[in-house]
Amino acid sequence: MVSNSRLLGVSCFFVILFLMAMSASAHHSFAMYDHTRTLTLKGAVTKFQWTNPHAYIELDVADAKGALTHYSIECTSINMMQRNGWRSNMIKAGDMVKAIIAPLNSGQPGGLLLEVTLPNGKTLEPGVPAANTFKRTPEQD
């Protein structure tokens, strides 16, 4: 016969394992982004966060009247970005870049980086595993 404490211990183990699996699968979901379109943004980098689990580019984009909108752009993991040629010092605050993003479904100013063009004209992709599921829409300058 199995003791109550052993049964409780085994049950707790499986609950923890289940919760860890749910957390991991939710973390890597791209469901919060609109897969049907892209946005092309041109603006000034305010911050480049080379952090785990994902890097971020903070970007100020001016509209036709000069009003700024701040975008928070999620990248993939820095390991994946390094495999695609990225380095932590490639983007600096003040750099003017062009970023193609998959926008947030919520309509908030942010998205998932699909491609960035640096001030020197070099284009980089962050290595988004699901990038081929995003429909690229024509640029609107």
pLDDT recorded at residue 2: 59
* 99 neighbors 45 (Cβ within 8 angstroms): no
Lowest mean pLDDT segment, chosen from 8-17, 35-44, 118-127: 8-17
Measuring CA to CA, which residue among 49, 58, 136 is closest to residue 97? 58
Region of 85 (left: φ > 0; alpha: ψ -120 to 50; beta: rest) is left
Distances (CA, A) of 12 to 9, 32, 59, 79, 103: 5, 31, 44, 33, 39
- Confidence category of residue 25, pLDDT binned at 50, 70, 90: very low
* 71 neighbors 23 (Cβ within 8 angstroms): no
